[in-house]
Structure 1
Amino acid sequence: MGLFSFIKGQFIEVIEWNENTDSLVYHFPAYDHAIKMGAQLTVREGQAAVFLNEGVVADVFGPGRYELHTQNLPVLTALKSWKYDFNSPFKADVYFMNTTIQTDQKWGTTNPVMMRDKEFGVVRARGFGNYSFKIKDPALFMREILGAQQSFHPEQLGGFFKTMIVSGISDLLAESAIPVIDLAMHYDELSARAAAKIGPNFEAMGLALAGFVIENISLPEEVERMIDRKSSMQIAGNLDQYMKYQTAESIREAANNPGGGLAGAGAGLGAGMAMGQMIQGMMNNPGQPSQPSGDAGETATKKEPAGDVSCSQCGHLLKPEDKFCGECGAARPQRRFCQECGDQLAAEAKFCSSCGTKV
């Protein structure tokens, strides 16, 4: 078997790579690295052939058919000091490289990326997407990445690319200062800027970044709930629509509850209208508390008499329009009234002196 391999190595006529594999690199198995001068080299579209002499890149061939002679192996010929075109074998390593675009390569953040937002403060975001690349400079890729490996798969670069991409995306998000609720509107713009930012890192390894896509940037659940609550508040700001909505909901619930009948529908309508009126009153008079109905409300909302009041700190007599003491600057003491009988309460009283109700 050894003799047959030796003889076969001396008469290699065709050098090509036609195997169906997902590897980016194929090392041509020449016996003792001997290739006959005059052999046929076939490089297909999407391939490149790299010749190495004693571990050093000598010549690179693009797609086409070549008959190996000294004139089309200038570097290798110079290294070997060949002066004549002879047919004896020469020794070299031949690597075929797949130069097609490697698509659907995934990237994503392992840990949340901290970012500062003007509205929500510091938030954590996660992102994921895909990218594609190809071998652009076979000689540089051989020197920087491949080395002495016999084969190479895209997954071997996945971890490095993922770290590089996440780092670039983090810097990009911080520099863009886009509000988190507006990020989805800028995915295309951010993808293009990210590709321009990390592209030079690929070129330094003999690769080219052919495409980069941000599919999604997600926020923590608590931030999403906060956004949902804010949206609900903005929608409820139209109180007229809110009242109509409450009324419609009450009618629907009454219709779905046969035991309630018209009484249930009336109660629902009343509740919806009362709620809408109360909110409307609060919006129209934000500085005044809501007024409860009945005698308790009337007694609890008795207005302070217009008579003069003494400062609780220095005893200075305050006028009805004074909010602060003109002598010591203390705030005007607020009078309190019993919710049961309506009598005025002392500042430190815990029980009404008239009816004994607990304050």
Structure 2
Amino acid sequence: MGADNLILLEVLEWFDETGQELLHRLPERGSGEIKFGAQLTVRESQAAVMYYKGRAGDAFGPGRHTLKTGNIPIITKLLSSPWGMTSPLRAEVYFVNLKVFPNLKWGTRDPVAFRDSELGFVRLRAHGMFNIRVIQPVLFINTLAGTMGKYSTEQIEEYLGRVIVSRLNDYLGETLDTLFSLPAQFDEMAEDLKKRLVRDFVRFGLALDDLHINSITPPEEVQAAIDDRSRLGLIKDMDKFVRMKAGMAMEKAAAANSEAGGAAIGMGLGLMMPGLFAGMQTQAQTAPEQVPCSDCGNRIPASARFCPLCGQQQIVLMQCASCGNNLTPDAKFCSRCGQPADRKPAPVICTACNQENLPGAKFCGGCGLKLC
């Protein structure tokens, strides 16, 4: 006779000492015989589910319950005599913790790729917190806990965190345009992301009680570019700013030289300042214009023939009719899609009026219908 056959449950109650258990089963190992008239005590923050013959039977809310034949299907000792006074019909009680489990962590294990409209491809890391609670005890037991005697937040935190990151990837790709506008959108993003995750949690009998985004951080070099842009936004007149910084530096140099007996050097620097200012102004005014690369979006000089980041040819001599890639003069095939370079773009025919439209047209010039 196994050890679990000797279990005779008379008082059933459970206290969560760790604060992290979502579920606890009695008996903890195997199943047991629940004595007729046993006392079941369920706290306000709990629900109890009775399993009999391997199926969920009665569920009990807060209060003290006397287990009798009328409210649970228990076979008595008189009916168990053919099996040596040991009942072959086993039962177990699952206590489910209905409280909110806060401060669970989620985050990206590996950076996720994101195409920024101004910075090109960047890799992001994101971290945050979320709160969960059980809203469907039987569904939670059947889909996640199964026959486990205990189930804690540690066993589900990592999986739910991956689900959150997966939905975040989709959200960023569909809604976010550039990282420069990101810091002001954390609350709005968290609320929209929470709505997307409702169905993912409900199918396990869980509710996503709250979700927070603590940080979304790009690589250090991209962060430096964002900081530089923020500083430039505070400077209204770059020319005046350069003059001011140069004047302050020269003033300090002249003062230091004067204290060391080099008054002549200080006077010489003073005479050079007007010419230096004029040079700085000319340099600022003649700074090369920058444009985004047609392929990766990296900012490059307008006169550049090739992008230093991706190598894309910038001077348009001819373009592929299939994908729009810039081609060299003697190219016979496109280096991107492999189509013949002399292939003519096919016109777009409107299905409503049979009007022939230019390649790439989105609306018909004859009837105004949107072209697929």
Coarse TM-score class (shorter-chain normalised): 0.5 to 0.7
How does the TM-score come out when normalised to structure 1? Answer: 0.66
Normalized per residue, which structure has more helix? 1
In the TM superposition, 1:108-123 aligns within 5 A as: 108-123=107-122
Aligned to 2:243: 243
In the TM superposition, 1:293-312 aligns within 5 A as: none
- CA shift at 1:275, angstroms? 3.6
CA distance in structure 2 between the partners assigned to 1:39 and 1:178 by the alignment = 62
In the TM superposition, 1:181-196 aligns within 5 A as: 181-196=180-195
Aligned to 1:216: 215
Moved more, 264-273 or 144-153: 264-273
Secondary structure, counterpart of 2:8 in structure 1: helix
Instruction: Decide which of 14, 19, 23 is 1:17's aligned counterpart.
Output: 14
Q: Structure 1: which amino acid aligns with 2:58?
A: D
Aligned to 1:124: 123
1:168 touches 1:197 (CA, 8 Å); kept in 2? yes
- Superposed CA RMSD in Å reads 3.2
- CA shift at 1:282, angstroms? 4.4
1:9 touches 1:32 (CA, 8 Å); kept in 2? no
1:131 touches 1:210 (CA, 8 Å); kept in 2? yes
Q: Structure 1: which amino acid aligns with 2:172?
A: L
How many residues are aligned here?
272
- CA shift at 1:129, angstroms? 0.7
After superposition, what is the alpha-carbon deviation per residue over 1:243-283, rounded to whole angstroms, capped at 9, x for unaligned?
Answer: 12322233345556743754555455556554432232345
1:15 touches 1:41 (CA, 8 Å); kept in 2? yes
- CA shift at 1:23, angstroms? 2.2
Aligned to 1:41: 40
Moved more, 212-221 or 232-241: 232-241
1:236 touches 1:242 (CA, 8 Å); kept in 2? no
Residue 103 to residue 255, structure 1, CA distance change in 2 (3 Å): farther
2:243 touches 2:280 (CA, 8 Å); kept in 1? no
Structure of larger gyration radius:
1
CA distance in structure 2 between the partners assigned to 1:146 and 1:122 by the alignment = 41
How does the TM-score come out when normalised to structure 2? Answer: 0.64
The alignment-based identity, stated in percent, is 32
Q: Structure 1: which amino acid aligns with 2:117?
A: K
Aligned to 2:296: none
Secondary structure, counterpart of 2:143 in structure 1: helix
Give unmatched runs, 5+ long, in structure 2.
Answer: 77-85, 289-372
Secondary structure, counterpart of 2:122 in structure 1: strand
CA distance in structure 1 between the partners assigned to 2:190 and 2:279 by the alignment = 49
In the TM superposition, 1:148-167 aligns within 5 A as: 148-167=147-166
Secondary structure, counterpart of 1:18 in structure 2: coil
Q: Structure 2: which amino acid aligns with 1:24?
A: L
CA distance in structure 2 between the partners assigned to 1:271 and 1:197 by the alignment = 64
Aligned to 1:65: 64
Moved more, 161-170 or 271-280: 271-280
CA distance in structure 2 between the partners assigned to 1:260 and 1:129 by the alignment = 60
